[in-house]
Copies of this chain bind each other. A is one copy, B any other.
Amino acid sequence: MAEQKKLVEAITPMEEDFAKWYTDVVKKAELADYSSVRGCMIIRPYGYAIWENIQHTLDGMFKATGHENVYMPLLIPESLLQKEKDHVEGFAPEVAWVTHGGSEALTERLCVRPTSETLFCEHYAHVIKSYRDLPKLYNQWCSVLRWEKTTRPFLRTMEFLWQEGHTMHETREEAVAETEQMLNVYADLCENYLAIPVLKGKKTDKEKFAGAESTYTIEAMMHDGKALQSGTSHFFGDGFARAFDIQYTGRDNKLAYPFQTSWGMSTRIIGAIIMTHGDDSGLVLPPRIAPTQLMIVPIAMHKGGVLEKAQELCQRLQKTFRVKLDASDNSPGWKFAEYEMKGVPLRLEIGPKDLEKNQCVLVRRDNREKTFVPLDQLEAEIARLLDAVHDGLYQRALQNRESRTWSATTMEEILALANGKNGFIKTMWCGDEACELAMKEQAGLTSRCMPFEQEHLGDVCPICGKPAKTMVVWGKAY
- Any chain B CB within 8 A of the CB of A337? no
Report copies per complex: 2
Q: Could you tell me if A43 and B68 are in contact, using CB atoms closer than 8 angstroms?
A: no
Given known pairs A71-B43, A123-B42, the reply for A97 and B99 (CB within 8 Å) is yes
Question: Which residue from chain B places its CB closest to the CB of A44 in the assembled complex?
Answer: B70
Encode contact with B along A128-151: 1 for CB under 8 Å, 0 otherwise.
Answer: 000010000010001101010000
Chain A residues with CB under 8 Å of chain B are 2, 33, 35-37, 40-45, 48-49, 51-52, 68-77, 80, 92-103, 109-110, 112, 119, 122-123, 126-127, 132, 138, 142-143, 145, 147, 159, 161
A318 to chain B, nearest CB (A): 13
Q: Could you tell me if B49 and A69 are in contact, using CB atoms closer than 8 angstroms?
A: yes
Q: Which residues of B contact A102 (CB under 8 A)?
A: 92-95, 147
Q: Which residues of B contact A142 (CB under 8 A)?
A: 143
Complex CA distance for A103 and B91, rounded to whole angstroms: 12
Q: Could you tell me if A49 and B68 are in contact, using CB atoms closer than 8 angstroms?
A: yes
Given known pairs A42-B70, A70-B44, A100-B96, the reply for A122 and B52 (CB within 8 Å) is no
Complex CA distance for A119 and B40, rounded to whole angstroms: 11
Complex CA distance for A248 and B99, rounded to whole angstroms: 40
Complex CA distance for A33 and B123, rounded to whole angstroms: 8
Q: Which listed residue, B52, B71, B159, touches A73 by the CB 8 Å rule?
A: B159
Q: Which residues of B contact A96 (CB under 8 A)?
A: 75, 98, 100-101, 110
Q: Could you tell me if A40 and B93 are in contact, using CB atoms closer than 8 angstroms?
A: no
A93 to chain B, nearest CB (A): 5
List 10 interface pairs A-B (beta carbons < 8 Å), by A numbering: A35-B72, A35-B73, A36-B80, A37-B76, A40-B75, A41-B73, A52-B69, A71-B161, A94-B102, A98-B99
10 nearest CB pairs, A to B: A40-B73, A45-B68, A43-B71, A101-B147, A97-B100, A102-B147, A99-B99, A96-B98, A37-B73, A93-B102
Complex CA distance for A256 and B227, rounded to whole angstroms: 48
Q: Which listed residue, B36, B68, B75, B161, touches A37 by the CB 8 Å rule?
A: B75
Given known pairs A93-B103, A102-B95, A142-B143, the reply for A42 and B68 (CB within 8 Å) is no
A134 to chain B, nearest CB (A): 14
Complex CA distance for A74 and B95, rounded to whole angstroms: 14
A252 to chain B, nearest CB (A): 14
Q: Could you tell me if A110 and B48 are in contact, using CB atoms closer than 8 angstroms?
A: no
Complex CA distance for A77 and B39, rounded to whole angstroms: 13
Q: Which residues of B contact A95 (CB under 8 A)?
A: 101-102
Complex CA distance for A321 and B443, rounded to whole angstroms: 59
A221 to chain B, nearest CB (A): 28
Question: Which residue from chain B places its CB closest to the CB of A92 in the assembled complex?
Answer: B102
Q: Could you tell me if B74 and A40 are in contact, using CB atoms closer than 8 angstroms?
A: yes
A133 to chain B, nearest CB (A): 11
A257 to chain B, nearest CB (A): 21
Complex CA distance for A201 and B257, rounded to whole angstroms: 55
Q: Could you tell me if A42 and B143 are in contact, using CB atoms closer than 8 angstroms?
A: no
Complex CA distance for A122 and B36, rounded to whole angstroms: 8
Known: A40-B73, A41-B73, A112-B112. 6 other contacts (CB 8 A): A48-B71, A74-B159, A95-B101, A96-B101, A96-B110, A100-B109
